[in-house]
Amino acid sequence: MADEPEYYRAEPLPPRDQSARGYGQGKGFGPSGGSSQWGQGWPVSQPVNVNVVGGKSTVLAYVLWFFLGQLGIHKFYLAQPVQGIFYLLLGLIGWATVGILVGWIFLVPLWILMFIDLFVIPVRVAVLNARLARRVGGY
């Protein structure tokens, strides 16, 4: 693949002016200011605030849990495909054999796991969103 053009490359933002609330364009900034590169030479002392766009939604995870939970769809949404397949197998085998009373052996553990998911879903969403923020934020 060809290298990206210069204007597509991400560059760090200039440091914040201590007296101003936003990014200032004071002395030493820009082509006429004498600085060779954008934002070089000043360490940023404030923590980085990362706004995660495209993270997972707790509400959507609960909606999937409520309507399609016995098929494990919420597990696939929460990036747990092995558990999703396990839920899918328990649900399909359980409902397919419930008429001959064998299905309850599969459905009862599935319902216990789904009850546990009621309390685990917010934690899992927070972990996935924190992982995404760390990856996007570069730390």
Which pLDDT belongs to residue 47? 64
DSSP 8: G
Which pLDDT belongs to residue 10? 58
Which pLDDT belongs to residue 54? 79
Long-range contacts from 30-38, C-beta under 8 angstroms, 24+ separation? 37/11, 38/11, 38/12, 38/13, 38/14
Which pLDDT belongs to residue 136? 77
pTM value is: 0.63
| Mean pLDDT in order along the chain per 10 residues (139 residues) | 55 58 49 52 60 84 96 96 97 95 95 97 94 78
Which pLDDT belongs to residue 53? 74
